Each structure stands twice: as C-alpha cells, then as structure tokens.
Structure 1
Amino acid sequence: MTTLWRNREFTLLWSSQSLSDLGTGVASLALSLLVLVETGSAVGAGLVGTVSMVARLVIRLPGGVLVDRYDRRRVMVVCDALRVAAFTALSLAVLAGQVSLWLILAVALVDSSAGAIFGAAEDASLRSIVPVEQLPAAVARNEARSYGTSLAGPPLGGFLFGLGHAVPFLGNALSYLVSVVAVLRIRRPLQGEREEQPQAYGAALAEGIGFVFANPFLRALLLIAAPLNFAIGGVLFTVVVALQRNGTPPAVIGLTETIVAVGGLLGAVFAPALQSRLTLPGLVRVICWAAAVLLAGSALLISNIGAAVPLAFAVFLGPACNAALFGYQAAITPDRLQGRVISIVMVVATSMAAMAPMAGGAMVATWSPSTAVLVFAAAVVGSALTATFSSGLRQAVEEPAEVALS
C-alpha cells in the first residue's frame, strides 16, 4: 500500500485545496476590511461574517443530498467556477470604484454556500481515492491543512489588501481556478454508481438522518464531537472577554487565537503517531478526559494570556480525535450516503459551536469568566462519559471498518 503522499489523487486534491483554503482565509479578512473602507460601518462588516456563517449552516443539509445525487467532480467544479466568477466580479468592481455593501454580501453568500457544498463533496469523495486503512491519516492531513491556512490566511489577507484593495480577491479567484483544474485532473471516479431514479429531497434526507441515528457509532460521534466543539469555542471566547476586561493590549489578545491555532496545527501533524499507539475507543477516551482537565485548567489562569496554553493543549488533542472518529465514519458509511451523513454530523456539531459565544457571553455577564470556563469543561466531561460507556465506540474494535463496510 503506497503512502498518502504517493497517492496522486489525494495529493492533487489536498494540495489544490490547501491553496484554495488559503485564498478563502485571505478573502475573509479582506471582505471585512473592504466594508470598513467603503462604508465605514462596523455593523456592515459584522453582517458579512454573519451572512457567511448562516449560509454555510443552512446549505449543508441540501448540499449533502446534492453531492450524493450528482457526480461529485461536476459539483465541485461548478462550485469553484461560481466562486471564480463571484470574486472576479468583485475585483473588477473594486478596480472600477463601484463597490457596494450589497455586492459584498452577495459575494460572501456565494462563497460560503458554494464552499459548504464543495466541502461536503470533497469529504464524501475521500473514501473513493484513499484506502480504508489510510482514512484517519487523510482526515488528519486535512485538519493540518485547515489549521495551517487559518494561521496564514488573515495576516496575508491584510498584507495583500494593503498592496491594493482588489489584490486579495483576484488572488482568491485564482486559487479557485487552480482548484477547478486540479479536480478535473483527478482520474478516479469520486463516487460509486448512482441511482437511475433519484429519491425526492425529503426522502433522501430522511434516509440519511435515519442511517445516522440507527448506527450506534454515529450516535456516539454526535454526542462526542458536538460538546467538544461547543466547549473549545466557548472557552476561547471567554478567555478573550476576560483578557479584554483586564485591560490586556489588543495585540496580546490576538496572540491567544494564534497560540490555539498553533496547538491545532501541531496536533494534526502528530495525530497519526497518537492513532498508532491506541485503539480508536482508547484514543477518544484519553483525549476527551484530558481535554476536560485542560479546559478546567484554563479557569485557573483566566486573568492572563497563560489561559491560552491549556486550551492550546486541548486543541492539540482535537485532530487525533477527529481523525479517528471521522476516518471510521467515512469507512462505515455507504458511498451513496457519504454526503448526507457528513452534512448531518457537521450541522449538529457546528450548530453547537455557533451557540458557544452567545452562551459564553451570557455566563460571563451572570457569573465570572472562571465559572463560565468550568461550565464548558463540564460539557466535555459529557463527551468523555459518552466515550467511556458508549457501546458505539466499542463497535470500532469489535467490527473493524472493512467488516462494517461489507
């Protein structure tokens, strides 16, 4: 079995999406800066972010049905072609001095919607180009890509915006064009055979939901991943609020997110080594309990930048957990259901994460930041208890992926 780096199809997809993700990170900051420069409205800049988040969440379920129904290569190409057109149009408007808030919102909407569908298609295609035994490693490398581009994107976006307001958007359009070419060069089919008479949307979605909730492992995955995402996002928000209250300089507060992102990037790099030493259930249990202790440790350091260190260690453990869980999920889910299952899991997990800042703000307003952090740590204890006692995780040992798939 060749290594992932010698897997032409995976390497082609991974490298092109690294560039694409970097372009997305560049453009996300540049869009907010463009609103501030053109309108001077902080509310407008915030609206762009909100529209992007809501669109990404709303489109996931229909997107999952879409990528299970149609040719995934074609879906990915169409999504990126739309994004090329959107950012090219925005670049031309910037150069012509004809930018409006409505145009920026429309571009953000197209980018987020197409990106969510593309992501579902990419994740659903993974099992078609990667051997079952290498799926956890492939997920880990995708995690490394995500953390790396999230670190590099915003600073590069600010630099390019300073060179010229249209530069980051032209660069992002080019990154999507490279993605189109790379996807077209993938030789293997990205899905199995399709039904001649596809199901109606409601029936197709219901089948996906039924599959998720009927499978003990996938139920456990939801109960583990959603509280973890909720807690880590909530603790990060709470730490930022606590530092701001204590008069910490903005540059130091910004360093908090950098420390956490570096933890995630290093965790993705070392994820395969962690996976090789423990069974899937053992790995997830250790990671969940360790994350609960580390997040609680942030409460002791909440008044200074040191609170980011335990959080970074908790995030360091996240990629190994995600790679193990989502690698097995990809292996046991039939190809025709991949898009729907991934979308359902992501909707549940990201919905919880989206509520974290609001929950953190409410708790900080009512109690202290330390108490809020402890509440979030308690949510991870819930994940750890599920990992410890759920029969769904034991399925991964008693029923290896190759057996479950058959």
Structure 2
Amino acid sequence: MSKSLWKQRNFMLLWSGQLVSWVGTEVSGIALPLVVLALTGSSAQAGGVAAIRGLVYVFWAIPAGGLIDRWNRKIVMVLANLGSGLAMGSITLALAFHTLSVIQLYIMSAIEGSFFVFANLGRFASFPKVVSKEQFPAASAQSSTADQIALLVGPPLGGFLYQTGGGFIAFFVDSLSYFINAFSIFFITIPLDAETPTERKAIHHEIKEAILWFWHQPLLRFLNLLTAGRTILSAGLYLLIIVLAKEHHASSLFIGVIFTIGAGGGICGSFVSAKIYSRFGMKQLLVGVSLLSFFIFSLYAIAINNVLLAGITALLYAIDPLYNVTTSSYSAKMVPDEMRGRVTSLARLVVLGAYSFGFFITGNLLQYLGSRWTIGVFSFMLLLLFIATAKNRNLAVG
C-alpha cells in the first residue's frame, strides 16, 4: 500500500511551497486590477497589465523548455522564485513611496512573468518525479486543492489588505510568498532531473524533436487546445467578476469574499475529483465538464446580486479540478520524462498565450461592450468547446 501523500516529504515540500506562492499570487491578483483602476480608471489597462505574464511566457516557453531538460530543475525553480520575489518587491517599494506608474507595472510584470516561466515549467516537469504513477491522479487532485485553498484565502486577504493598508501590503505578501516557495523547494532531497538524459544535441534539434513528437499526438494536441479555450475564459473571469460585483456596489472586501465562496466550491470539487475520475472514461468526463461549464457560466447573465454571483462562481470552480485531474493524468502517462520539459513548454506556450489573450479580450469586451455582451461571447465559446469535445473521435480511445 502506497504511503499517504501527506507523509511524502518531497511531494509536500513541492506542494506546500506552491500553495504559499499561489496564496501570494491571489493576494496581489485581487490588488493588481484595483491598483490599475485606481491609477487609470481603465478596464482595458487592467487587462493589459495582467496579460503581460502570458505574453512573456510565449516569448520564453520554447527555449525555457529545452533548458529545463538540460539544467538542474531544483536550482532553476529556486532561482526563478527568488527573481519573481524581487520583481514583486520592487512594486511594493514603489507603492510605499507613492512613485508607482503603469509603465513600471508593465515592466515588473514582464520581469516577474519571465522568471515565472522557468519556475512553472520546472514544477510541471518535476511533479511526476515526486509521486508514483499510481498516485498521480490523487496528487493532481491535491494540487488542485492547493489552488482552491489559495483562492479561498488569497482574494479575501487581498481585498482586506488593499482596503485597510493599500496595495503596498498586498504586493509585499506576494513577494514574501515567492521567497518561501524557493526555501521550500531548496530542501527537496530527490533528483528532479530527467531519468535518462539523451545524448546532447544542439538545443534547436532537441526542441524540433519535441515538436515532432507532440505533433504526432493528436489527442494531446486537442486537449491542449481545449485547455487553452477554457483558459481564455478563466483568465478574464477575475476581471469579469470584479466588474460585475462593482456594478452591484460590492466593497473590495466583499469582492474577496465572492472568490472565497468560489474557492469553497473548488475545494469540494477537489476532494471528489480523483474518485470520479476512477469511475468514468475520459470522454465521458470531458464532455460532462464541458457541458456543465457552458450552463453554469451562462447563469452569470442572470446574477442580479452579489449572493447569486458568489454561488455561480462556486459552481464553476467546483468542476475545474475534475477537468485538471483528467487532462493532467493523461499527459503524465503519455509524455516521456526525458522530454517532459520541452513538451510541457509547448503545451504551456499555447495555454499561457490563451491566458494573456483572455485578459486582453476580457478587458476590451468589458470596456467597449459591457458585462452582458462579455458573458454572451464567453458562453458561446464554451458551447463551441462542448461541441468539439463531444465530436472528437480520438477521445473514444483516450
């Protein structure tokens, strides 16, 4: 019988460090649009600043993936988290001395995002190394639980800190969380590098090798595009909910509470996702999740108060862990470890490009068409994703 994940030291170091880091990210995530709105009054600018992380991910992803398969993944993650912490620390200082500008936010977000590329790819490549294949679905579900705990704690904490102390405290917490994550990763004792390093070729040949392998995996390519579509929506969901809440005259603190309630739904979903995953086929799971996502998100159109807004958000967050467990378990099973960094970088390039586009398009839709049209556009997109999933023949054999 496998040892409980809670008793596996190296998994817990990777998991707990990421949990702290995600809490910090959620704290600054609620503060960032509020800071930009306070500086400019523009939803488009708020979406633009948030989109920078995705843009730099697109720039760095492919070379970073090749390097992750060559370098010491543990050292990469430690240094990358330290770099992100310093970038967020500079925003903290600028807020403290009342010198922050939108230009500085763009620049520091780009720097933080560049370090994030290496930390993120390192974590994805290392995750299957700290658990067995049999425990991966449960570990993936527990990873989703960390995301939802961060959502449970981060937004209300961010809203509270912003309301009581301003953006300075929120960005300080985010900066500190990166340093804690680096400290946690430093004490992982097992090697996280590729098990069977291939004979080294020029890096562009290794990247080409990964691209060709990925191209010949039609189901992985479809899942990557499906995830990208969902990411477009989830990236902008923060901004959409903030705008809807403000239309109902919610305070900064209550906006955080909305995300807390949503995270509660996500935690419930995380607890049951591994069990549900073990009972159904992949196509059944993905078709069901896609259909539910369409119906639940469409309910935002009738969210006439903040209580309904919170309830709909909880339902939407509750089904995300099942999607993550289903897709990540298949990817972990199919991707060879010696090229995991490169293949992950290709997949994440598409997803983070979608993340950036999601912020950009949400900000502009809200700015020029309003919240109702924004909900309509995204509901239609989710309907198209459901149809594509239901008609995909490769899923029948996944």
1:346 alignment counterpart: 348
1:148 alignment counterpart: 149
2:285 alignment counterpart: 283
Q: CA deviation at 1:290?
A: 2.4
Q: Is the 8 A contact 1:238 1:369 kept in 2?
A: yes
Change (3 A) 1:222 1:166: closer
CA distance in 1, matches of 2:295, 2:281: 21
Q: Is the 8 A contact 1:216 1:391 kept in 2?
A: no
Change (3 A) 1:369 1:17: closer
1:380 alignment counterpart: 382
CA distance in 2, matches of 1:289, 1:34: 36
2:250 alignment counterpart: 250
Structure 1 range deviating more: 144-153 or 316-325: 144-153
Equivalent residues in 2 for 1:122-161 (5 A)? 122-157=123-158, 159-160=160-161
Change (3 A) 1:136 1:90: same
1:336 corresponds, among 319, 335, 338, to: 338
1:175 alignment counterpart: 177
Equivalent residues in 2 for 1:89-238 (5 A)? 97=97, 99=99, 101=101, 105-157=106-158, 159-160=160-161, 162=164, 168=170, 170-191=172-193, 192-201=195-204, 203-231=205-233
Q: CA deviation at 1:225?
A: 1.9
Equivalent residues in 2 for 1:24-103 (5 A)? 24-28=25-29, 40=39, 46=46, 48-87=49-88, 97=97, 99=99, 101=101
Q: Which structure has the greater CA radius of gyration?
A: 1
CA distance in 1, matches of 2:374, 2:275: 33
Structure 1 range deviating more: 209-218 or 19-28: 19-28
1:322 corresponds, among 321, 324, 329, to: 324
Output one character per residue of 1:269-288: Cα deviation in whole Å (capped at 9) or x when no partner: 33223223323232222222
CA distance in 1, matches of 2:104, 2:245: 36
Q: CA deviation at 1:123?
A: 0.9
Equivalent residues in 2 for 1:287-326 (5 A)? 287-299=289-301, 301-305=302-306, 306=308, 309-326=311-328
Alignment RMSD: 3.8
Instruction: Give the SS at the match of 2:189.
Output: coil
Change (3 A) 1:8 1:33: same
Return the letter of the residue paired with 2:202: Q
Change (3 A) 1:26 1:290: closer
Change (3 A) 1:80 1:194: same
Q: Is the 8 A contact 1:242 1:303 kept in 2?
A: no
Return the letter of the residue paired with 1:176: Y
CA distance in 1, matches of 2:240, 2:183: 42
Return the letter of the residue paired with 1:110: I
CA distance in 1, matches of 2:250, 2:121: 36
CA distance in 1, matches of 2:100, 2:174: 19
Output one character per residue of 1:44-87: Cα deviation in whole Å (capped at 9) or x when no partner: 98464344443344333332222122121121122123234445
Q: CA deviation at 1:91?
A: 5.8
CA distance in 2, matches of 1:21, 1:239: 19
Return the letter of the residue paired with 1:188: I
Output one character per residue of 1:27-53: Cα deviation in whole Å (capped at 9) or x when no partner: 45566777889xx55579846434444
Q: CA deviation at 1:362?
A: 7.1
Return the letter of the residue paired with 2:21: S
2:267 alignment counterpart: 265
Unaligned residue ranges in structure 1 (runs of 5+): 397-406
Percent of counterpart pairs with the same letter? Answer: 25
Asked which structure has the greater RCO (Cα within 8 Å, sep 6+), the reply is 2
TM-score by length of 2: 0.80
CA distance in 2, matches of 1:87, 1:356: 22
1:5 alignment counterpart: 6
Q: Is the 8 A contact 2:54 2:352 kept in 1?
A: no
Change (3 A) 1:28 1:225: closer
1:400 alignment counterpart: none
Q: CA deviation at 1:8?
A: 1.5
Change (3 A) 1:45 1:322: same
CA distance in 1, matches of 2:45, 2:362: 22
Equivalenced residue count is 389
Change (3 A) 1:263 1:343: farther
Instruction: Give the SS at the match of 1:59.
Output: helix
Change (3 A) 1:129 1:93: same
Output one character per residue of 1:317-348: Cα deviation in whole Å (capped at 9) or x when no partner: 12111111112101210112222222322332
Change (3 A) 1:215 1:250: same
Structure 1 range deviating more: 377-386 or 97-106: 97-106
CA distance in 1, matches of 2:379, 2:174: 38
CA distance in 2, matches of 1:167, 1:238: 24
Output one character per residue of 1:114-171: Cα deviation in whole Å (capped at 9) or x when no partner: 1222011101111111111222222222222123223422443455565587655554
CA distance in 1, matches of 2:372, 2:31: 34
Q: CA deviation at 1:308?
A: 5.5
Change (3 A) 1:86 1:249: closer
CA distance in 1, matches of 2:153, 2:255: 17
